[in-house]
Chain A
Amino acid sequence: MLEISNLKVGYGGKIIIRDLDLRLDKGKILSVVGESGTGKTTLGLSIMGLINERAEKGIVQGKILLDGNDINRMSKEELRKLRWSRLSMVFQNVEDALNPLYSIFDQVKEPLLETTLNNEEAEGKTLNILEMVEFPIHRVKAYPHQLSMGEKQKALIAMAFIGDPEVVILDEPTSALDVISKDSITQLLKVLCKDRTALLITHDLSTAASLSDNMAVLYGGCIVELAPTSSLLSDPRHPYSRGLIRSYPDMDRAKDLQGIRGRAEFVESGCPFHPRCTQAIEICKEERPKLIMVSQLERRHSHPQQRPESSIQNRVSRYIACHRGGVIPLLEMRGLVKSFGKFRAVDSVDLTLFEGETLALVGESGAGKTTLAKTVIGLLEITDGKIYLEGKKIAENGTNLARENGFHRKVQMIFQNTRESISHRLNILEAVVEPLNIQGIGSEKDRLKAVKDVLEEAQLPSDDDFLNRYPHELSGGEAQRVVIARALILNPKLIIADEPTSSLDASVQAKLMKLLNNIQEDRGLSMLFITHNIALARKISDRIAVMQSGKIVEKGPSSRILASPLHPYTKGFINSASGLNHSKL
């Protein structure tokens, strides 16, 4: 068992890891994931006691307890004895980790020189372990440069395991490999790590997914989320974990890849992720969040929040370091009803929309999708139920609570019929600046600048000629971009897009969808995307809710809904979805 507490590591005056607490249990593999530069390898090296030696002004503070003995306080001699026999590491950078002047056999054998084994026993053991890692035995005398990447990786693994260590640190063991060799090495590691304590350091989520039991997400030298691997991957709660998973190409997910805005930079105070976080508030800049168990967090935020589907089965412990308790539910509808006379157009709808995600609401015409959107934004009066925005009630049982200015700044809508949603009397400038005029934001000059900025963001020209044009002089795609720009000018947190592309041709639609996706990445915008086109929903949404005559008949992660729809209506809907492969009947 390895226990790390209060670990602080830095080189040359720069702190790489701070206040890190971690416990590795025997027989379990813990993966540490994160972008490059978040301190993953440093963590591995400090466990190996390699930091002080490597860099001059290196600091390692805190405790690293291996069965009660603090590695951090051991002398060089003690450490030397410990390494390879009780503690070993598979180094990253396959190319450099092997000495080119020694043959593989000699290098793998090297750790055994410290032991009491005689040469023959050592050679036998070396052959054994090389065989075990499926290294081609006839090539054991080869030199590193004569081998392929996969072979070198296997040699490094053999080296790490030859001393039968209790704790293994695997630093990117598969990142240099192609998928086939990756798969075989993963299988191999699974077998080798049995009954050992293993720390897997990787940026490759799929390796982490198949190898590890628990997963820690590291950012800026802090663990931001720690949970069982499967639940973390299926339901990441920290904004950074979610961003990381979103940017990972996954066979099951159809949504386009999205990165995380900004780039990793060193943060002096506050949450390390706050400059890139789209839901950061004041406190995030000032105070470093503690890694807290989620159940505690949920008691603190006591408003009704049901987690999506996956929450039901996972009652396992999960730790998050976030002042906001992880990704917040932005919009919540509880038992929402909208009726016209006796007709219930929207019938007891429960939906939650999280910060920064796209929820596609699909269904045929007349299912009540647009009515739902209009009720949420306040164009129609709610009949029954409740709507919350960021945990604040905005409408309840038949009364639309006054939607103070803040509401319109946070929620915007893109209408179905774009051209009609811009007044024909207004030129582009007047149309786009209107929300600012209504809300009374900024001076004349600020407003003009804001208009130009959003037009640029929507990839439109912002010169005077364009600003003076009228909506009827625009193409359908341009008009839609103007409407998107106008919706963005108030800097909303949520955009309700009602069939924004239904009147556009496919190529224009594709460009617009890309635009919306990028805007979402940059601004952390949540989107309620209403469409009858499930093929389109598949490409852009994180989750899908299927609506039929006013009711939500099925909701869940897009990949799950599309791969295994449960409700017969969803099945029918997916079967009749448009595709180019249908052979003629």
Chain B
Amino acid sequence: MHVRLLKELRKDTFGKLGLALIAVFAISALIFPLIFRDPRSHSQVILKPPSSDHLLGTNDVGQDVWSRLVHGTRTSVLVAIGVGFLSTLISTLAGVSAGIIGGVYDKVVMRLVDALLVVPTIIILILVASYVNPGIWVLILLISLLNWQGGARIIRSQTLSLKERMHISAARTFGAGKWYIIFRHIIPDLIPILIVSFIHRARMAVFMEAGLAFIGIADPLMISWGMMIHHALKFYFLPVWKWWLLPPGIALSLLIISFVLLGYSLERIIEPRLLNA
């Protein structure tokens, strides 16, 4: 199996689309908050529809919706990247070590994975979050700790299969030790899977963060799309709600869709048999 992810991705419409959208979001998260006005400054101009002054109107305390949307992008993208990275790291550590070390250690880790797979993690998340009202970093940590199990299981089984591969046996006959094998062979061989896992975790994280904010148990000072939806819904009886509610809703959907598209096409590239079946 020899794949060049980027090259293959360029041939794939869904993949291209997903990648382009994610790029747009990432760039806006990076640049726009520097350009547009402070999302926290409030004014007397409340609940206004879009105008030249306020591109997307204002909310109940006179904050600029566009500005809040743009800053919310930063939160979502940060959570996506943070959780994607952290949870993939945890699943790699757990999966590779379980696969290589085996024995009792492997059994313990795998039973923990089973337990986490059975428990509906969103409920644990809601319970914990409602106690601590997490800020963005704690939120990333929480979501990561509750979302590594699926990845760990896949990585472990891949590791088990990889370590019996001929080229790894060959490296052992050159005198390579465990660490060499793990870092020079097993992890590089896992990279395509790690990328897919990263994308899926990221998507999940965006959704979870928005969900927690939406039900109002995240840190109230955090600016995020979920929080915007949470607040906007309280004003559903006024005609202005659509200016306030729709932008974060659409942005959220687009970001999640772009992750889905990218994940889908990456999976297809890495394991073509998977989706043709």
Contact = CB atoms under 8 A, between A and B. Distances in A.
Interface in B32-60: none
A377 B173 contact: yes
Given A424-B2, A425-B189, A379 B173 contact: yes
Main secondary structure of the interface of B (DSSP, over half): helix
Contact of A379 (B165, B169, B185): B169
Interface string A404-438: 01011101110101001111110000000011001
Nearest to B188: A425
B174 A417 contact: no
B186 to A, nearest CB: 11
A422 B171 contact: no
A439 interface: yes
B118 interface: no
Nearest to B168: A423
B174 A421 contact: no
A420 B161 CA distance: 13
A279 to B, nearest CB: 22
B169 A415 contact: yes
Given A425-B2, A472-B2, A420 B165 contact: yes
A377 B176 CA distance: 13
Given A415-B166, A422-B167, A424-B1, A405 B175 contact: yes
Interface string A450-489: 0000000000000000000011100000000000001000
A470 B176 contact: no
B170 A415 contact: yes
Nearest to B165: A420
A495 to B, nearest CB: 11
Contact of A417 (B1, B166, B180): B166
A280 to B, nearest CB: 25
A424 B169 CA distance: 14
A420 B167 contact: yes
A199 B185 CA distance: 64
B171 A434 contact: yes
Contacts of B176: 438
Contact of B169 (A421, A434, A472): A421
B172 interface: yes
Contacts of B170: 413, 415, 421-422, 486
Contacts of B167: 420-423
Nearest to B170: A421
B166 A408 contact: no
Contacts of A217: none
A413 B223 CA distance: 61
Interface in A374-415: 374, 377-379, 403, 405, 407-409, 411-413, 415
A421 B240 CA distance: 66
A490 interface: yes
Size range of the interface on B?
A: 10 to 19
Contact of B173 (A412, A420, A422): A412
A316 B185 CA distance: 56
A117 B31 CA distance: 125
B174 A434 contact: yes
A471 B170 CA distance: 15
Size range of the interface on A?
A: 20 to 34
B179 to A, nearest CB: 11
A425 B188 CA distance: 8
Contacts of A408: 173-175
Nearest to A416: B166
Interface in B138-181: 165-167, 169-176, 180
Nearest to A420: B166
B245 to A, nearest CB: 48
Given A379-B169, A420-B166, A422-B167, A470 B2 contact: yes
A421 B1 CA distance: 13
A498 to B, nearest CB: 10
Interface string B218-262: 000000000000000000000000000000000000000000000
Contacts of B188: 425
Contacts of A374: 169
Nearest to A490: B174
Contact of B175 (A379, A423, A439, A471): A439
B215 to A, nearest CB: 45
B34 to A, nearest CB: 39
A438 B180 contact: yes
Contacts of B1: 424
A438 B2 contact: no
A585 B2 CA distance: 47
Contact of B189 (A377, A421, A422, A423): A423
Contacts of A472: 2
B173 A413 contact: yes
A425 B167 CA distance: 11
A439 B172 CA distance: 11
Nearest to A403: B175
Interface string A2-39: 00000000000000000000000000000000000000
Contacts of B189: 423, 425
A3 to B, nearest CB: 55
A446 B48 CA distance: 73
A484 to B, nearest CB: 12
Interface centre among A374, A408, A409, by most B CB within 10 Å? A408
Contacts of B2: 424-425, 470-472
A379 B174 contact: no
A438 B174 contact: yes
B172 A379 contact: yes
Contacts of A378: 172-173
Contact of A421 (B166, B175, B180, B185): B166
A412 B173 CA distance: 7
A503 to B, nearest CB: 12
A408 B189 CA distance: 24
Interface centre among B166, B169, B171, by most A CB within 10 Å? B166
Interface string B1-39: 110000000000000000000000000000000000000
A422 B165 CA distance: 10
Nearest to A435: B174
Contacts of B172: 378-379
Nearest to A414: B170
Interface centre among B2, B171, B172, B173, by most A CB within 10 Å? B173
Contacts of A403: 175
Nearest to A422: B167
Interface in A335-360: none
B258 to A, nearest CB: 28
A528 to B, nearest CB: 13
Interface string B175-204: 110001000010011000000000000000
Contacts of A424: 1-2
B24 to A, nearest CB: 31
Contacts of A379: 169, 172-173
Nearest to B172: A379
A439 B173 CA distance: 11
Contacts of B180: 438
A439 B174 contact: yes
B155 to A, nearest CB: 17
20 contacts: A378-B173, A379-B169, A379-B172, A403-B175, A408-B175, A409-B175, A412-B174, A415-B166, A415-B170, A421-B170, A422-B167, A423-B189, A425-B188, A425-B189, A434-B171, A438-B174, A439-B174, A439-B175, A470-B2, A486-B170
Q: Which 6 A-B pairs have the closest CB atoms?
A: A408-B175, A435-B174, A420-B166, A421-B166, A424-B2, A423-B167
Given A417-B166, A470-B2, 10 more contacts: A374-B169, A379-B169, A379-B172, A405-B175, A413-B170, A413-B173, A420-B167, A423-B167, A425-B189, A439-B175
